[in-house]
Amino acid sequence: MAAASAWVRRMRFEVVYDLQGSDRSRWLTWVSGARRRVALSGRFPYNVWPRHDHRHLHPFDRLNDLLEAAGIGPATAACRLVPGEEARRAVGRWLSAAGLVGAPLALFHAGSSPRWLSKRWPPAYFAAVAREVERRGIRVVWIGTAAEGDLNRDLAAVAGVDATGVFSPETLCALAGHARFALVNDSGPMHLLASSGLPVYAFFGPTDWRRCHAVGQAERIFRLELPCAPCYLPVCPTSRAHACMRKLEPEIVLERLRHDALI
């Protein structure tokens, strides 16, 4: 931290835009000596910040508020991750080996961080939707990391193809180019898949969908209005029976997918 502080001070910045607002970034902003210090809050040492409440805004919108407060025009569109040619070729090879070339695909992510089991829609519900999607001629591909291997193996035994650990962030975006839609929990893959332009349907319960949804996908959220949600608890208390997820039954999802002409 001392070396970083010395470098920041030495650069003699005129303006600092602190997009983080952590204790470290606040300190570095202060030691910079910049006369104009822009951030999301009016806490010390900032002197330019948005003047309205943004606690329930999505980070994309909050940061746009910061830009506008600083006199900079807002970003008007989310970024897109474009996979390179090698990533596209790697996905092509995998599709060929899996016998899926030309097949309509749906990408399913039934996992989440092991620290956030409360984010997971019930596996039996995922399996029920996957079975119906495959019955309609669309192949389900289960994606995720090694930590989700057992979960995906059990789900693929019911319907679909297990692709646990196959794809990097870049190749996952390349795979999205071959899919019709994705069905996911609130997770990293949700954001990656959305960045490719794929329709991404996501489940929200313990976390606030307004703040956490993938950019451009707010209209594809499955959630319930419950007194206990969002709770931001990594594990749901037994007394609540994970109602925010369990009451989102598979038919709700299937009806939406039929309405959107995706199955």
- Cα–Cα distance measured from residue 88 to residue 181, given in angstroms and rounded to the nearest whole number: 18
Q: Is 173 exposed, middle or buried (0-12, 13-18, 19+ CB in 10 A)?
A: buried
Contact 182, 199 (CB under 8 A): yes
Please give the DSSP secondary-structure letter assigned to residue 48: B
Contact residues for 37 (Cβ-Cβ < 8 A; gap 6+): 15, 16, 18, 29, 30, 45, 46, 47, 48
CATH 3.40.50.2000 segments of the chain: 85-259
pTM of the model: 0.84
Q: Please compute the mean of the pLDDT values over residues 99-115 and round it to a whole number.
A: 95
- What tens digit of pLDDT does each residue of 39-55 get? 888 889 999 888 877 77
- Identify the CA nearest to 112 among candidates 178, 197, 177, 206: 206
How are strands ordered across the β-sheet holding 139-142? 161-162, 139-142, 105-109, 179-185, 200-203, 221-222
CATH topology of domain 85-259: Rossmann fold (3.40.50)
Q: Please compute the mean of the pLDDT values over residues 189-196 and round it to a whole number.
A: 92
Q: Which residues pair with 105 in a beta bridge?
A: 139, 179
- Cis peptide bond prior to 230, omega within 30° of 0: yes
Contact 105, 136 (CB under 8 A): no
Q: For residue 61, name the pLDDT band (cuts at 50, 70, 90).
A: confident
Structure confidence at residue 67 (pLDDT): 87
For residue 188, give both structure tokens. Answer: 């990293």
Structure confidence at residue 87 (pLDDT): 97
- What tens digit of pLDDT does each residue of 216-254 get? 787 999 999 888 888 878 888 877 889 999 999 999 999
Q: Which residues pair with 142 in a beta bridge?
A: 108, 162
Contact 193, 172 (CB under 8 A): yes
Residue 12 backbone zone (phi > 0: left; psi -120 to 50: alpha; other: beta):
left
Structure confidence at residue 51 (pLDDT): 80
Indicate the helix (H) or strand (E) that contains 4: helix 2-11
